[in-house]
Structure 1
Amino acid sequence: MDKFNKLIIISELDTVHNITLLAQSININVQQCSKAVALNSGMLKPGVLLAYPYANKDINKNGVSAELQDLLNKVPLFLFQAERTILEPSQAIIAGIRGVIYRDEQLDRVMTAINTMMTGQLYYARKVMSELIDTLVQQKLAQNQQTLVVPNTNLLTKQEKRIIQLVAEGSRNKEIADNLNISAHTVKAHLSSIFRKTKARNRVELLRCMQWPKTQESELIKLA
């Protein structure tokens, strides 16, 4: 994402908020105002990052409040003054929130967080991001497994099943030819037929899609 050129901090206080002072100290173009002013004055436009004070009602185990979701639909934002014991960072990431600054955060970390997010990056602990990515990867793998189409092995000849077994063992075309006492050209012809029947484009896809049931696996071993 592109860098932000302005930070708007939502605060209902009459005094300047500490986070506003910190942003000013690192030369961030920052403006503090109430939520009503931000919504009604046309401030929420491209290039703006919004800092929104966390409240338990805004995001919890039940999801994101309609009020916060409305803001997220208008402008990228991060939460500040969050409570560690209440807000789960993974919930914020999934909701599309660009970062979380906790109430007990040290000042230097707050400045780092602001700088990081103004450059267009997310601001979350590395462990949090790692765990979330791992979860997403596992979900994707599970989804791929569920949607995997297993070819109809009844279309394969005994010779083709022998060749698939040898491919699974890592044999090259010449080794397959020597094992089956056929020419390398014949092996290529069989592989072309196998790819056509299984709709695999190469050996990797072939082995991935051939999730043999136990009975067929035993049959292949006998045929090899």
Structure 2
Amino acid sequence: MTTMNEDATAPVSTPAGVVRGDDGLLRPTWAATDPLMRDYYDTEWGVPVRDEHGMYERISLEAFQAGLSWATILKKRPAFRAAFADFDPDRVATFTDTDVERLMNDAGIVRNRLKIAAAITNARATIALRAEGGLVDFVWSFQPAETPVPVTYADVPTQSVESVALSKGLRAKGFAFVGPTTMFALMEAIGIVDTHLVDSHRRGSSGVWNSAGRS
């Protein structure tokens, strides 16, 4: 695609798959317009998460996102954090049926009983996994040798051999709502893989992968 420069005298080429923002930076379409999504893309998405609290929160939110847009979850994230004790696994693990009913009546979050139950189940599984090295090391152990190098959004896979293995591994440890597609989205979000488009200003910025897709 092409856009016009400020003088409107000559076309300025923009690589396929990305949009040039008013700040001159290239981003994928999904992160180019909504200010909340743009800020999330610029500052959070693909940044490595290596603490238990952050990992548990991301797993929980990715589960709630299943079947919905990430924009919906991001807008509700403050309400989710308030409802789920800031995603402290030790506190969420103590939630009872009374808490489940409280959450089902909270209009600020996604009121899905199975997903709410999964968040509680996963808090307890997170605590149990500490005896085996912890959730963070377990999830990161599924990092692949190479990461995708997508030119357009159509080049980005929705799951991988590693996300399938991570899904099976977490299920074996007692986690729920951790399907292969959801786990691939998690791996993208926390930097285990880098699916920033090659022309994006964020490509290779995680410190885990270079722009060519190698660690």
TM-score, normalised by the number of residues in structure 2:
0.21
Greater share of residues in strand = 1
Larger Cα-atom Rg:
1
Point out which structure has higher relative CO (alpha carbons under 8 A, 6+ apart): 2
